[in-house]
Amino acid sequence: MTRPILLNAFDMLTPVHQSPGLWRHPESRVENFQKLGYWTSLATTLEEAGFASLFLADIVGVYDVYGGNGDAAARGGVQYPLLDPLVAVPAMAAVTSRLGFGVTASVSYERPYLLARTFATLDHFTDGRVAWNIVTSYQDSAARNIVGLDAQIPHDERYDRADEYMEVMYELFEGSVAEGAVVADRERNVFVDPSKVREIGHEGQYFRVPGEALAVPGPQRMPFLFQAGASKRGQQFAVDHAEAIFFSGSTPQLVRKWVDGVRDGLEAAGRPRDAIKIFTLATIVVAETDEEAEARLDEYRAYVDTESALTLFSGWTGVDFAGLEPDQELEDIVTEASQSALASFTTLADGTKWTVRDLAEFVAIGGRGPVIVGSPATVADELERWIRESDVDGFNISAAVRPADLERFAEFVSPELRRRGLLADTADAVTLRERIGGKGAHLAPDHRGAAHRFEG
C-alpha cells in the first residue's frame, strides 16, 4: 500500500494564482478574495478534508516582464492586486484547531529581526501551526520598489545572503531565549528571567544584529521551514535549511530527478534520506465520473486567458514572451529570475520540444504542475502513482476555479483517500511540525538550526 499522503492546499490572496482566466467561471467566487470570510470559510473546509496546511504563496512585485509593463497583469488579475498573507493567518487560525498555515516571506526584502518577531507572534497565535516558506524572490520590480535597486541581486548571491539570513533567524529563535524564560512570578515580581535571555551578537557579511530576540519563541520555537527552489543552488539551500520542499514539475520523472537530488544531498550531509518531506504541485478537476470530470475540464478551457498565461510565465522566468510566434520553440535562457521554471520546459524536458503555444496551453490551467482529471477513484489512483514514481511525500493541491475545486476535492477526493487509508491520522499532532514531520514540535537534533539552541 502507498504510504499516507500529506496534503497542503496551494493558494494566494489574489484573483489569479495558477490558472489565468478561470476567475471568470460561473462557479468562481474569487472576486471575494479581499473579504476575510472567503479565507476563514476555506480554512474550515480544508481542515475537515484532512489537509495538513494551507500553503499561501506570495510575491512582492508586479509581473511587468511581459510587454515591458504591468498592463497585462492588471488586466488579467495575474497575481495583482495582491494582499499580505501574514495578516490573514490569525483569523483563519481562530476558526480551526488542526490546520497549519504555510506563509511565504522573502529573505531578500524582509528584515530578519522584525520577521522573527512576526513569525513568533503567529506561532503563539496559532498554537504552533505556522510554517515559513523561505523565498529569495525573483522580480526586478520588487527590487526597484522595495530597496531602490535597478534589478534584483544575482541568483546565487541571493542564496548566499539567504544562508546568513537563516543563521540570524536560528540565533533569534533558538539561541536568544531559553525554554522556561517566561516565569510570570508575581511574588518575585519577575515576568522574564533575564538569565535565560541573551544577545545574539551577530556580525556578518550581510547582517548585523547585536541584540536579543524581541519576542519569546512560540510552541515550535522556529516555525516549520518550507522551501521551493529546484535550481542547483536552490536545492543546496533546501538541503541545508528546509524541513519540507515544494517542487513544480509536469511529470513524475522530472520531479523524481529533483527528489533524488535532495535525498542524495541529505545522505551526503550525514542525514537520513527522508529527513525532509517533499511535496509536488497538482491541480485536481474531479467529478462523480471520469466523463463528467473531462467535460468539466473542457468547460474550463473555454475560460483560459492565453495572454495572461504568458504574462505569468514571463514573470516567473524574466523572459518576455510578448510578440513571439506561437509555434516558436522554447530555448533555455539563464536569467536571474526563477531558473527552474524555464528549464522544466527546455533542458529538463527529456527531448520534448515545447513551443510558445504549447507552453501557454499547459500553464493556463494549473501552472507548471499536472492537471489530474477524473472520478474520485481515478484521482486517487493518479495521486498514488505520483507518490510511487516520483517518491514525494505529498501534494500542494491547487484549484483552477477557486475555491470550488478545493471544495470539490474535499467532497469527492478526501473521502476516497480516507477509504483507502491514505490520509494520515494526525489527531495527536499539536503543532504543524509534528503533523508534517511526524516527530517533535522543535527542530530535529540533526537540523543545523538546532546547534544554536540556548539551554539556559
Q: At what angle do helices 306-317 and 356-363 cross, to 10 degrees?
A: 100
User: What is the rounded distance in angstroms from the CA atom of residue 359 to the CA atom of residue 349?
Assistant: 12
**Torsions phi, psi of 398, nearest 5?**
-105, 150
Three-class SS state of 54: strand
**Torsions phi, psi of 10, nearest 5?**
-110, 115
For residue 218, list its beta bridge partners: 221
Residue 442 assigned as binding residue: no
Checking DSSP bridges between strand 182-185 and strand 130-135, what pairing results, if any? unpaired
Three-class SS state of 228: coil
CA 86 remoteness from chain centre: 13
Q: What is the dihedral of CA 329, 335, 338, 339, to 10 degrees?
A: 70
Helix (H) or strand (E) holding 55: strand 53-56
Residue 19 assigned as binding residue: no
Residue 137 assigned as binding residue: no
Residue 231 assigned as binding residue: yes
CA distances 292 to 167, 296, 337, 374, 399, Å, are 51, 6, 39, 8, 17
Count of CB atoms within 10 A of residue 97's CB?
11
Q: For residue 326, what is its C-alpha cell?
A: 506561437
Counting Cα atoms < 13 Å in the Cβ hemisphere of 304 gives 19
Report the alpha-carbon angle 24-53-448, nearest 5.
Answer: 130
Residue 155 assigned as binding residue: yes
Which residues participate in the annotated binding site?
Answer: 58, 104, 155, 159, 231
Which residues participate in the annotated binding site for FMN?
Answer: 58, 104, 155, 159, 231
